[in-house]
């Protein structure tokens, strides 16, 4: 049975498993919106769904293995009346599409996600409904209704990439960059803010070049100013994936002008040896990287710097790794994610000789992470006694030595991007979705512990309709109960 758009009872539902980056999360929201238009309801329980969708990641071999595992899990548990769809980036990679387990009922590449309604209609035997105009496949980057988001939401401003990094399959998956029109970005953000979203995170494969394909000069700084003018009630605006280039200088200047833009710069440099950077097809001037970092720190005194690195790239020598290690020690980034090089067919790096042994690459990664943990711990300890605004995102439970549990609020400060950085733990059940001033009381290498500046801000219950609970004795609970061993942050792209 099918629910109509005018309010009929819903009998069919769908469940989405989203893997990979923040851009995939936005695509999954679009998929959910389309299926809602086609009369299906979302469910968090795969056993309750007629349609099971895995939005795959194809960026690395490990991510493809995870995608295959997720599909196999659903195939192994599905009932005869359930359908499994493999969607996303892995489905767009011709050489790896054959790795998708047999038994799936449909395969939908990432460029075609807006056709999910037609695919599901066909599987369920429905008469096809016409897609909403804003989600026509030819216009798939247009914004869609975002009235069901949480305290923080990603907004994809562009898709695809014009760079030719020798290790990266993104251009093979996504093609050249296509930017969303500024008015569409603003409309999407306005809808999010109207439903209570307090933080918007702008994402793309190459966010700094937003608007270049539209002929917009200085597109990203112009977009930030437009958002600040037309959606002034947004408290936090953040950007991720800022490719290191001279364009970053102008971006930082714009950030300094706009209070809603959090002073956070995510700039993946990948390495710090010029020869390795040239072999990667990346900007090779380490002095330019220093200039960008210095400009950000002098223009935004409280800026948080994040970067990602690759070790074990073919031909990387001990001396070249040492140059990277010394550069990380010199720059003292706030957050660092580290990849070991992953061989990817059909990339230029696949043709390189002199591979680095996996054990050596792993040792290099461990050395960098140990170095960065010390840097991060020192920076976090310097925050003890200061007050930070914390965006409360969930409530968990912490268990003491006697087995008794008490509520703990989990959130992030401006210095923490969603999913990849640390968290802030505050005793008590604070209203989810609120920005709460809190005084930092303790620090680990990644996470902070804090207390509300105003104790009366902790109600007996969080605000009805805005609660988001974590399981009892969850990871946040365990980490809040005692300062645990440091964990490595997840790397960006």
Query: Per CATH, which fold does 13-137 belong to?
Result: Rossmann fold (3.40.50)
Helix, strand, coil content of the chain in percent (nearest 5): 35, 20, 40
Per-domain residue ranges of the chain? 13-137, 263-382, 387-481
CATH entry 2.130.10.30 includes domain 387-481: no
Kindly report the number of other CB atoms within 10 A of residue 232's CB atom.
10
- Among the CATH numbers 3.40.50.150, 3.30.750.200, 3.40.30.10, 3.30.9.100, which is that of 263-382? 3.30.750.200
Nearest CA to 481 out of 422, 412, 402, 419 is that of: 402
- Would you say 132 and 196 are in contact if contact means Cβ atoms under 8 Å apart? no
The DSSP secondary structure of 223-291, one letter per residue, reads HHHHHHHH-TT--EEEE-----STHHHHHHHHHHH-TTB-SEEE---B-S-HHHHHHHTS---HHHHHH
Cα–Cα distance measured from residue 46 to residue 61, given in angstroms and rounded to the nearest whole number: 26
Reading the block at residue 180, the tokens are: 């969303």
Cα–Cα distance measured from residue 82 to residue 75, given in angstroms and rounded to the nearest whole number: 9
For the stretch 257-294, pLDDT in tens is: 999 999 999 999 999 999 999 999 999 999 999 999 99
Reading the block at residue 279, the tokens are: 């072999």
- 297-329 burial, b at 16+ Cβ within 10 Å, e below that, comes to beebeebbbbbbbbbbbbebeeebbebbbebbe
Q: What is the pLDDT of residue 98?
A: 78
Nearest CA to 57 out of 33, 93, 26, 32 is that of: 93
Q: From first to last of its 493 residues, what are the pLDDT tens digits of the chain?
A: 444 333 333 468 999 999 887 778 888 888 888 888 788 888 999 999 999 999 998 877 788 889 999 999 999 998 888 999 998 888 777 667 778 888 899 888 877 777 888 888 888 876 544 444 434 433 445 455 555 678 999 999 998 888 889 998 888 877 888 999 999 999 999 999 999 999 999 999 899 999 999 999 899 999 999 999 999 999 999 999 999 999 999 999 999 999 999 999 999 999 999 999 999 999 999 999 999 999 999 999 899 999 999 999 999 999 999 999 999 999 999 999 999 999 988 889 999 989 999 999 999 999 999 999 999 999 999 999 999 999 999 998 888 888 888 999 999 999 999 989 999 999 999 999 999 999 999 999 999 999 999 876 665 443 333 444 443 333 333 333 333 332 333 333 3
The label of the residue with tokens 């008469």 reads: 127
Q: What is the pLDDT of residue 110?
A: 79
Residue 439 DSSP SS3: strand
């Amino acid at each position: 049975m099918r629910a109509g758009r005018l309010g009929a009872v819903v009998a069919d539902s769908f469940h989405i498993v989203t893997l990979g980056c923040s851009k995939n999360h936005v695509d999954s929201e679009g998929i959910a919106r389309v299926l809602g238009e086609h009369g299906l309801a979302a469910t968090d329980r795969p056993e309750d769904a007629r349609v099971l969708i895995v939005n795959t990641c194809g960026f690395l071999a490990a991510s493809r293995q995870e995608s295959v595992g997720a599909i196999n899990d659903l195939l192994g548990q599905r009932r005869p009346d359930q359908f499994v769809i493999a969607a996303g980036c892995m489905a767009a990679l011709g050489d790896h599409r054959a790795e998708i387990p047999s038994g799936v009922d449909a395969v939908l590449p990432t460029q075609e996600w807006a056709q999910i309604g037609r695919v599901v209609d066909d599987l369920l035997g429905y008469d096809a409904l016409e897609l909403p105009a804003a989600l026509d496949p030819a216009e798939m980057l247009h914004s869609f209704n975002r009235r069901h988001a949480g305290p923080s939401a990603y907004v994809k401003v562009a898709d695809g990439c014009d760079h030719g990094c020798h290790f990266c399959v993104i251009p093979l998956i996504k093609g050249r960059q296509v930017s969303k029109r500024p008015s569409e970005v603003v409309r999407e953000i306005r809808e999010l803010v109207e439903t209570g979203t307090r933080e918007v995170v702008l994402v793309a494969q190459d966010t700094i070049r937003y608007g270049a394909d539209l002929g917009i000069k200085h597109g990203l700084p112009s977009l930030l100013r437009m958002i600040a003018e037309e959606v002034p009630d947004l408290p936090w605006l953040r950007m991720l994936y800022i490719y290191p280039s001279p364009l970053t200088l102008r971006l930082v200047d714009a950030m300094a002008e706009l209070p809603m833009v959090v002073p956070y710069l995510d700039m993946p440099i990948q390495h710090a040896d010029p020869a390795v950077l040239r072999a990667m097809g990346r900007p090779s001037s380490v002095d330019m990287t220093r200039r960008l970092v210095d400009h950000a720190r002098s223009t935004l005194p409280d800026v948080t710097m994040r970067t990602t690195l690759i070790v074990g790239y073919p031909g990387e020598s001990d001396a070249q790794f040492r140059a990277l290690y010394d550069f990380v020690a010199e720059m003292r980034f706030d957050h660092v994610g580290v990849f070991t090089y992953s061989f990817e067919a059909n990339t230029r790096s696949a043709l390189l000789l002199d591979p680095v042994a996996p054990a050596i690459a792993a040792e290099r990664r461990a050395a960098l992470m140990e170095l960065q943990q010390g840097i991060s711990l020192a920076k976090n300890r310097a925050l003890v006694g200061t007050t930070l605004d914390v965006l409360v995102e969930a409530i968990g439970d912490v268990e003491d030595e006697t087995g008794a549990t008490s509520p703990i609020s989990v959130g992030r400060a401006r210095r923490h991007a969603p999913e990849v950085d640390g968290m802030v733990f505050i005793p008590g059940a604070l209203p989810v979705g609120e920005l709460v001033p809190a005084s930092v009381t303790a620090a680990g290498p990644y996470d902070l512990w804090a207390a509300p500046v105003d104790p009366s801000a902790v109600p007996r219950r969080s605000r009805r309709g805005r609660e988001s609970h974590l399981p009892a004795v969850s990871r946040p609970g365990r980490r809040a109960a005692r300062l645990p061993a440091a964990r490595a942050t997840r790397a960006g792209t």
